[in-house]
Amino acid sequence: MQIVGGAHASGLDHSVLYLREAEKRPLGESFETVTLDKPVCKARIPRSSPVVGLDGTPSTPEAFIGKLIDLPSGTRDEGFDVAFGADGDVTEVKWLFVLGTPSAEKAGGSSSAMTEPFARCTWRGQKKFVQVLGWVRAGDESVLYLREARKEHLGESFETVSLEQPTCQAAMRTTVRIHRLGNRPSTLNDLIDDLAALNNRSKKEGFDVTFDGDGTVSEVHWLFIPSK
């Protein structure tokens, strides 16, 4: 499975994982993760379910979800072995790669740099056009992982152009204002669900995001119709 996102909240006995089925393609003693044209689904993972690293190191669902978003998008595309119980809940997650190594090798960088957390976005009091690369949701505050992008106008529409900019993180509270295309109001729950369900192409689309004076996301405008 590819795990495209996760959410957890204080006071609950479980977290939620957003999953997409994938395929293992053997490469000698290793393998390559092949993305399949499958829909994203979500499954509960009880706090008691083990998450096990490649070296056998145990972790927890909450720590695992936090670590997922610290990974650059290329590493998050790697696959995991996920076991399910009879009730559909996740009973175990196994990491199948060394944290940070696969993407570092592809990019020609160092693996240690791939596990460092992203810096906070520095767009206090500004409105920016950005791509949303990932998120973590925890209680009353979520974190969005963003990269600045550019609008290339095409008649009455536009195309999102990726920029060679660093990824940064910004907090987003439950009071954030969400608007869909046509300025229709939406909710944070819908935004999180739709972000998880978007296909690879739509993940590259841009959003207008407004930041308040302390750099927290105060408003998000969808600029396209999400494809699920």
pLDDT above 80 for 78: no
Band the pLDDT of 11: cuts 50, 70, 90: low
Confidence class for position 84, pLDDT limits 50, 70, 90: very high
For residues 11-35, average pLDDT? 83
Confidence of residue 69 (pLDDT cuts 50, 70, 90): low
226 against 37, higher pLDDT: 37
pTM above 0.75, yes or no: no
pLDDT digits (tens, 9 = 90+) for 155-177: 878 888 888 888 888 988 889 99
pLDDT greater than 50 at residue 109: no
List Cβ neighbours of 211 (8 Å cut-off, separation of 6 or more).
Answer: 121, 123, 124, 125, 126, 127, 128, 170, 217, 218
Residue 104 has pLDDT above 50, yes or no: no
Q: Which residue has the higher pLDDT, 17 or 74?
A: 17
pLDDT(117) > 60: no
Mean pLDDT of 206-227: 86
**Mean pLDDT, the chain, integer:** 78
> What is the pLDDT at residue 202?
58
User: Between 145 and 101, whose confidence is greater?
Assistant: 145
**The pLDDT of residue 110 is above 70:** no
> Residue 135: is its pLDDT beyond 80?
no
* Mean pLDDT within 75-102: 77
Is the pLDDT at 114 greater than 90? The verdict is: no
